[in-house]
């Protein structure tokens, strides 16, 4: 379900907060196009910290593994990354389907290490929105559809008070991969 309780703007603000707290950068230096690694100086462990802060804020679970790892797990070793650590054409086709508008530099044969630098504030915001949009139509506890947002970030059932549960990030990626594979038969 596409929820309208939490806006992209609110997610952007929360992500900015998480980035400032984790990386100690000036809030004004963060734009939607900032690369977390190249522009804001994030290292891989910082992503865990930022993800944790987002999870606490919204009450959801971010993906632990990137799309490429899920492709290899679902469709076999070597399907996403060849033996030289370069992205396969099929992996690029898939990534473009998902991130094309955010990652315009994607090309087959690029080194997999070039991918993390392409993570921007905008692509992370979109990742969070995807999870929030997995909000079920009805409360899992009382069955009413009466979701309300609390302080703009946490969603609760207005009928019984139950906190919203979202599909976790990894399951969302797997479901998406299954759907794309059925439609496009890339692998």
**Residue numbers at the binding site for Zn ion (CB under 5 A):** 139, 141-142, 157, 159-160, 162
Pick the closest to residue 58 from 12, 24, 22 (CA basis): 12
Burial of 179 per CB tally in 10 Å (0-12, 13-18, 19+): exposed
Provide, rounded to whole angstroms, the least separation between the CB of residue 132 and Zn ion.
Answer: 18
> For residues 159 and 168, which CB has a smaller minimum distance to Zn ion in the complex?
159
Provide, rounded to whole angstroms, the least separation between the CB of residue 161 and Zn ion.
Answer: 7
Residue with tokens 């979202």: 166
| Tokens representing residue 84 in the block | 């030289």
> For residues 48 and 160, which CB has a smaller minimum distance to Zn ion in the complex?
160
Q: Which residues pair with 155 in a beta bridge?
A: 149
Measured torsion, CA atoms of residues 20, 67, 119, 130, in degrees rounded to the nearest 10: -60
> For residues 99 and 147, which CB has a smaller minimum distance to Zn ion in the complex?
147
> For residues 12 and 147, which CB has a smaller minimum distance to Zn ion in the complex?
147
**Mode of pairing for the β-strands spanning 147-150 and 154-157:** antiparallel
Provide, rounded to whole angstroms, the least separation between the CB of residue 91 and Zn ion.
Answer: 41
> For residues 32 and 136, which CB has a smaller minimum distance to Zn ion in the complex?
136
Provide, rounded to whole angstroms, the least separation between the CB of residue 156 and Zn ion.
Answer: 8
- Cβ contact 124:15 at 8 Å: yes
Provide, rounded to whole angstroms, the least separation between the CB of residue 135 and Zn ion.
Answer: 13
CB neighbours of residue 123 within 10 Å: 18
- Cβ contact 18:152 at 8 Å: no
């Amino acid at each position: 379900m596409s929820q309208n309780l939490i806006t992209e703007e609110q997610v952007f603000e929360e992500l900015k907060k998480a980035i400032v707290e984790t990386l100690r950068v000036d809030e004004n230096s963060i734009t939607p196009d900032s690369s977390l690694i190249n522009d804001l100086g994030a290292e891989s462990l910082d992503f865990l910290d930022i993800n944790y802060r987002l999870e606490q804020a919204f009450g959801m679970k971010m993906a632990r593994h990137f799309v490429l790892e899920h492709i290899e797990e679902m469709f076999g070793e070597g399907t996403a990354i060849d033996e030289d650590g370069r992205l396969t054409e099929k992996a690029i086709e898939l990534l473009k389907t998902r991130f094309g508008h955010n990652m315009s530099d994607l090309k087959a044969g690029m080194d997999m290490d070039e991918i993390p630098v392409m993570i921007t504030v905008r692509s992370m915001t979109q990742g969070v929105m995807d999870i929030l949009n997995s909000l079920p139509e009805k409360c899992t506890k009382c069955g009413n559809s009466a979701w309300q947002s609390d302080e703009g970030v946490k969603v609760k059932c207005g009928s019984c008070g139950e906190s919203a549960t979202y599909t976790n990030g990894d399951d969302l990626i797997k479901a998406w991969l299954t759907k794309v594979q059925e439609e496009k038969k890339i692998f």
